[in-house]
Amino acid sequence: MTQQSAGPLAGLLVADFSRILAGPYATMLLADLGAQVIKVESPGGDDTRTWMPPTREGISTYYLGINRNKRSIALDLKQPDDLTIAQELARRADVLIENFRPGGLARFGLDYDTVAAGNETIVYASISGFGTGAGRDFPGYDLMVQAISGLMSLTGDPDGPPYRAGISVFDVVAGLHANIGILAALHHRGATGQGQHVEVNLLSSALSGLVNHSSGYVAGDTVPFRMGNAHPSLSPYEPLPTADGELIVIAGNDGQFRKLCRVLGLPALPDDPRFRRNQDRTANRDQLRPLLVERLTERTKDEWFRDLLAAGVPCAPINTIDGGVAFAQDLGLDPVVAVGDVPGIRNPITFSDTPARYELPPPGLDEHGEEIRAWLKS
C-alpha cells in the first residue's frame, strides 16, 4: 500500500477502530503528523457521517472535521472474511485505538490480550466513557460526562440553570490524553521493545481537565459554584460592558491591574486597600466592577481593545467562530488548510523540521477498502 509523506510519526501504522469524536480526533492528529491511519468502519459507517446539519456537498462537516489523512475500509466483524482482515490489520499495526464499550471487541479476538499475543509490540489504546470497572456498561457520551463530572454545575449564570459547554469538550480532552499515552508508550517501546495497553476514560479526563476546580475540592474542601463569566480566584476576569458591547478584561496579576487602571484613567485604584492585591480584588469584586464599568462605557470595545492590548492588559472581543478564524488569519496563523477541495482547521502543532501534512481528504465509506484488503492479504 502506498506510503504517505514523511512526518514526525512517519512509518507508524495506526489501526483506527474508533468512531464519533474522541478516537477519530486523536487519530486525525496522529495522521497529520505522518502516521498511516486506516479507519475501520462498520458497513453503516461512522455515526458522525449522519450528524448534520451543517453539511458540505451533502457530507456532515462534523465528520469532515476529524477524519482527514485517513484511509477507510468498511468491515462487518460478524462476517468471517472481514474479521480475518481486521485481525490481520491488528497484527501488523504499531498502534490500535478503539472506543467500544469495555470488552466489546473480545468476542472478535480484537481485545488487547488477544491482539498482543500475536503482536507483542502493539500499543493498544482504549477510550471509554467511565472506565472498565463499575461504569463499564455506561454509554460514553460527552454530555453525560459534563453532567456527572460537575462541569455543568459551573457553567451558566449564578441564578440560572446549568449549561453544557458549547463543544464536546471532554471527548476532545480524552482524545488528547489518549495521544499523550500512545506517544509515551511508543517511547517506552523504543527503549524496551515492549508494547502495552493504554486506557483513557472521559470521566477521569474530565476530572483532570477541571484543574483548579477539582483541586479546589480535593485539596481545599471547597465545592465551586456557577459564577457566570467571573473567575473564583481572579478579578477582574470577565466580560465587562463598553459603549457598544462587552469586552473580556483580565488582570492576571497586580501589575496588569495597575496597567488597566492607568489606561482607564483610574490611577488611585491600585493603591486602594480594597483592590491592592488580587485576593483583595476578589474579596471586593462587587465594589470594583462598577468603578471599571463606569469608565469602560465611555468608549467602544474596539477602542479599548486596541489601547489595553497595547498597554499589556489581556483583553478580547467576544467573537463568533467566523470572527475567531478571521482574527487568526489576521495574525498570520493560517488557520485554514485545504485537503483536496475540503477546507479544515490546521493542526495546531508547528515543527521546525517535520511539519504536519495534509494529503488525504476525509475518506468516503470504504473508499480504500479494495486497496487495503489486497495489501493485508499479500
- Cβ atoms of 56 and 342 closer than 8 Å: yes
187-223 burial, b at 16+ Cβ within 10 Å, e below that, comes to eebeeeeebbbbbbbbbbbbbebbeebbebeeeeeee
Q: Compute the distance between CA of residue 72 and CA of residue 368 in angstroms, rounded to an integer.
A: 5
- Taking residue 11's Cβ as centre, other Cβ atoms within 10 Å add up to 12
Q: What are phi and psi of 228, to 5 degrees?
A: 65, -125
Which cell numbers in the block locate residue 60?
456532515
DSSP 8-state assignment for residue 339 = E
Which cell numbers in the block locate residue 38?
486506516
Work out whether strand 237-242 and strand 196-201 pair parallel, antiparallel, or are unpaired: unpaired
332 Rama sector, left if φ>0, alpha if ψ -120 to 50, beta otherwise: left
What kind and span of H or E run contains 73?
strand 70-74
- Which residue in 58, 26, 23 sits closest to 364, CA to CA? 58
Work out whether strand 36-41 and strand 13-17 pair parallel, antiparallel, or are unpaired: parallel
Q: What angle do CA 164, 168, 173 make, to 5 degrees?
A: 120
Strand partners for 201 = 128
The single residue listed with the C-alpha cell 479476538 is: 109
Strand order in the sheet with 36-41: 70-74, 36-41, 13-17, 95-98, 123-128, 196-201
Which cell numbers in the block locate residue 169?
469538550
Where are any strands of DSSP class E within 218-305?
A: 237-242, 245-250
- Which residue in 305, 361, 353 sits closest to 330, CA to CA? 305
**341 has catalytic annotation:** no
Which 3 state secondary structure label does DSSP give 14? strand
Catalytic residue among 171, 322, 330, 334, which? 171
Q: Compute the distance between CA of residue 97 and CA of residue 19 in angstroms, rounded to an integer.
A: 10
Which residues are tagged catalytic? Answer: 171
